[in-house]
Structure formats: C-alpha cells, structure tokens
Structure 1
C-alpha cells in the first residue's frame, strides 16, 4: 500500500511538472527548465525502481543486505536480482548529482560577470557535455565499485542471519538469488573472530568519497550563493535580489527533502551497523522505505515556488484562487 501510494503520487506530480514545463511559457527561467525536467525524469526512474524492485534492506551488526522483495528473478538461467539492485543504486545516487547541477547553475547565474573563472566563456554545449561526462563517470563509479566489492559471494552467503528466511521468506543462500551486501567486518574462517574486510571497507570508502565530493560541491555553492545574495557589493536590483533569494530558498528546501527522507535514513543504517556494531535487523527496512517519499513530493515544491508554473496548475485544474495578487519568483533574464 505504501509503495503503491508513493508511486501513484510521484508519477502524477512529476508527469504534471513535465507537462507544465512543456506547455507553459516561462522564458525568464531560461535553461533552468531543462534541469527541472531532468530532475523530474530522474524522480520517475527512481519511483519505477521502487515499484518494480520493491527493495528491502536487512541491517545487521556489520552492515546490511539489500535485495529485491521477490528474489529469484531468473532470465535464461541468469539471476537478475543483483543487476536490478545495481540499476536501483544508479538511480538512487544520481538524484544527489542532479541536485549539485542545480546549485552550480544557480551559483553561475548569480555570479555571472562577477569575478573571473575559466568557465565564464563556456557555451551551453560545453556545459551539457561536461554534465554528461560527469554523470557517466559518477554513476559508473558507484555501479562498478558496488559490483566489485558488494555483490554475492560464497563468503557473504554464508553469514546470512538464521532468522532471515523467516522474516522475508527469501533464501539468499540460494545461488539463484542475488543481492548487494555491505559487510565491513566478517568472521575469520579459522578463528571465527570478527575482522575488518578490506574489500568491503575500500568499496564503502570509494562510495562515500563520491557522495561527499558531490556534497562538497553543493556546500560550496550554497555558501558562495548565499554570500553573493547578501553582499552589498553585488550589483542587483531589489527585485532581482529578492527573486534570487526566493529561488535559492526553494532549492534548499528541494534539497532537504531527499536528504531527510533518503540519505539520512541510509546514513543511520550505515552508522549503526558498520560503525557501532548494533543490529537493526528488519528495522533497517523501515528506514529505507522512507526513500520512496522524496520522489513523490519534490515536484510539488517546483510547481509552487515558480509562480508561472503555479498559475498554470491552478488554471489547468480550475482551482479557486486569486491570480492577480501573485508575484513572480523567478529571474527576469534568460540564460
């Protein structure tokens, strides 16, 4: 019921946003409309991944198992469980990268003509090419790292918890099933003592480096954008400054949603098992279920904060609302 509800809301809200972007004349937001559309498409793919795979997570004392709800999907004798998990991981982390694109765009628009940068003279084609290259390398980095260090092996199948089959009615010890697993500490084959796994630890650190690198870009852009908006040395009219501030706040809110409902729960799972050694068990799945929320509500913030989009929605559904009092919350120049 939960996944069905979030899937329905997400498909509706993001398809509505794409429709409004395509049919509403809002030239003053310039190329930003393409970033908004791309973000909506990413949310749709994430939603489809949730609905199709319905991923479950079991958090144990040294990490977690991540697997499809209906394990044992086989095509021509090959298990598709692990590839499906990898595909979901790609869509899951791509959202954070797209958010970084939004912040870079906002920062570059605001600081255009202020100071010097080697990117000042880049054409739109250069930016698109760079975005594509970064996106491919970023996603490939995650997928390859997880595929090498966090996919099933005889060793990881051996320490599937005894209560696992009873809880999920899945048998991950069966070679026909697939999953991804993070187990930074594993039992020594001879002594049985827990020891750090070099393979899992390196994979974990690489993934965290990719994620924190993206977070660093976002934090830098947040700081610089906020400082530029507040600076009295920035030559902006009162109206333009107010519009930049409104869009900046909207972007912060749009970023807070996936951080709160997606990346924060995963951080709790990682910190609890891999760092503290506590066993969350099936509660890890409860935390991960919240990741289905953010794709369903992201689009609503965009539709609300960009006033022309908001007006278009009101007119489309003939909602009772006064339109004459609405001001614009987007920049007045094209990019």
Structure 2
C-alpha cells in the first residue's frame, strides 16, 4: 500500500541510517583504550545491537496506523508478509512488541546506573552468566508480554473489518478484509469486542506507564545521589553526570517518539479525535527514528566519543588542506615523486 511519500520512504531511510550510525558507535566503545565507563560499555553495545535489530524488523514488517470513529487500527502496509492473513497479523504483533523491548532495555540501563551508585555488589552479580541470563529474560519478557496482549485482545475479526471498511475504501481504496491488522474498537461494537479492546489497551498503557515512571523515579534518585554524595571524587561525579545526561536523552527520545504517539493513537478515538491517516505521520515515522537518534545522542553527549569521532572526520580534511598548501610550491617532477 502506498499512502504518502513520507510514510513510504522516511521509515526506510531511518532504518538504513541505523546501520550507518550504530556500527561506528560500537567501534567507538570497543576501540577505547581506557575503559573510562567500565563494564557499562557492554550495555551500550547491547543497545546498539538492539537498535539495528529493531530497524531490521521495521524494514521487514512496515506498519501503518489509522484512527477512525471509535477505532484504532495498526495494519501491515507492505513487505514479505503482506497479504498472508494471520501470519501477517502475528508479524504486526511482533513489530509492536519491539516498542516494549525499547522500554525494557532502557529500564536495565537505569537500574545499572542506579546500582553503580547505591549497591555495587548487585552489579557484580548481574554481570555473572546467571545475572546476564536474568537480565535477558527480564528484557525479552517486555516484548513477549506486549505481543501476547496484541494477539489475545487486539486481533481483527469480521466485526471490526466491517466497521472500518468504508473508511479504508475512501482513504486507501483497499478492502479492509484483505489486511493483516490489530485493532481496538471502544464504542459502537458488541460487548465482547469492547471488553477485549479496553483490556488490551489498558494493559499496554500499564506497561508503558510502569517503564516511564521507573525512569523518572530512578533518575531522580540518581541525581540526588550525585548531588549529596561528597565521598565521590569530582572526576567520578563528572563521568556519572555525563553518562546520566546521555541516558536522560535516550529516555526523552522514546517518550517523545514511542510513548506519546502510542497514547495519541490509542486514546484519540476515546476522546473523539478522528486522526485518520495522520497517525502515520505522528506515529509510524516517529517510531522509525528511534534507532538512529539513540546512538547519535550518546556520541554527542559523551565528550570522549564526540571528540574521537570528530578527530577521525577531521584527519582527511587536514591531510587535504596540507596537500593543497604545499602543492603550489613544487614543480611537476617533484609532485610526481611525492605521489609515488
């Protein structure tokens, strides 16, 4: 389905850029001679790998969002699973689950920064094989829970397909019965449809709210600890503040481009907002930008990474400028000798 050039191309551009920015970010982490951030580097590498997997899933399972009447709809717009019925619907559920996975990995980052300041013994346990396995299960459970809720409560059926038929014919000239979708229909539906729609959206809202609340609570405690702990050296405090600023921006990004678009799409119909295909611009494009903005935020906010990357970029420019300034002072024979 072709909706608009921005919806068609921008998510693909962001997906490709994710594979362009995250590998240099991983190189900056792994090639750093002095491990100034300690074992936290492994979490940052894990974050970069997740960003690229997120982009790969997004490119394979491109989604669209539509709000009409009392309904919220997420449907498969293109890709190899388009037109595959329930298999495509499962793909949409998995794609949506990656939103929750981004919440989960951020929770782990906040917990790590919190325990570094408050209880380093827990950090030692978490970095053991059993601790890492527990962290992975904690992380993956977010995506499993989200996708399961989508499959159990937000699946499309004949009643919801019929409800959105006219809107999809008018806006996209497609038959809604041929699409793989997830949907919540809050009013003007059978009691069963309304019940499972409300249950599904409220559970997803609870997962999102728990994650964002945890960011705020742990972030506040971390800031208080840094401000009220004279036992920490100025150098260590400076490093912690730099890392916390980066993590704060990493948190601000998904709140703006994941949490907020989801809330608008979910509760717009409840409030009587007929957003139509505007959800694609407010939500789909914003969701696709997360894996690109994430590594850029850390590189820009951590001086070591920022300066090293700028140094790599400036080297060819310095070499070119120095060659340009020397060239007029030598004759052609000297120039040939220098080239070889």
For normalisation by structure 2, the TM-score amounts to 0.81
CA deviation map 1:11-60 (0-9, x unaligned): 21112212322333342212211111111122212222332322111112
Question: What is the root-mean-square deviation of aligned Cα atoms in Å?
Answer: 2.6
Distance change (3 Å), C-alpha of 1:165 and 1:41: farther
Distance in 1 separating the partners of 2:93 and 2:117:
37
Q: How does 1:82-121 map to 2 (within 5 A)?
A: 82-112=89-119, 119=122
Distance in 2 separating the partners of 1:49 and 1:167:
26
Per the alignment, residue 331 of structure 1 pairs with none
Distance in 2 separating the partners of 1:18 and 1:183:
43
**Higher radius of gyration, 1 or 2:** 2
Q: Does 1:264 align with 2:268?
A: no
Distance in 1 separating the partners of 2:80 and 2:11:
21
Distance in 2 separating the partners of 1:299 and 1:74:
31
Distance in 2 separating the partners of 1:123 and 1:56:
38
Contact 1:3-1:292 within 8 A present in 2 as well: yes
Distance in 2 separating the partners of 1:260 and 1:123:
30
Among residues 248, 262, 280, which one is paired with 1:252 in the alignment?
Answer: 248
Among residues 160, 163, 186, which one is paired with 1:159 in the alignment?
Answer: 163
Compute the displacement of 1:98 (Å). 0.8
Distance in 2 separating the partners of 1:29 and 1:212:
30
Distance change (3 Å), C-alpha of 1:123 and 1:284: closer
- 5+ long unaligned stretches in structure 1: 190-194, 322-335
Distance in 2 separating the partners of 1:298 and 1:120:
24
Q: Does 1:63 align with 2:64?
A: no
CA deviation map 1:68-117 (0-9, x unaligned): 21289469x7653212201211222211111111111111112236xxx9
Would you say how many aligned residue pairs link Structure 1 and Structure 2?
A: 307
Q: Secondary structure, in 3 states, of the residue corresponding to 1:85? A: helix
- Flag the structure with more relative contact order, 1 or 2, with Cα contacts below 8 A and sequence separation at least 6: 1
Contact 1:145-1:207 within 8 A present in 2 as well: yes
More helix by share: 2
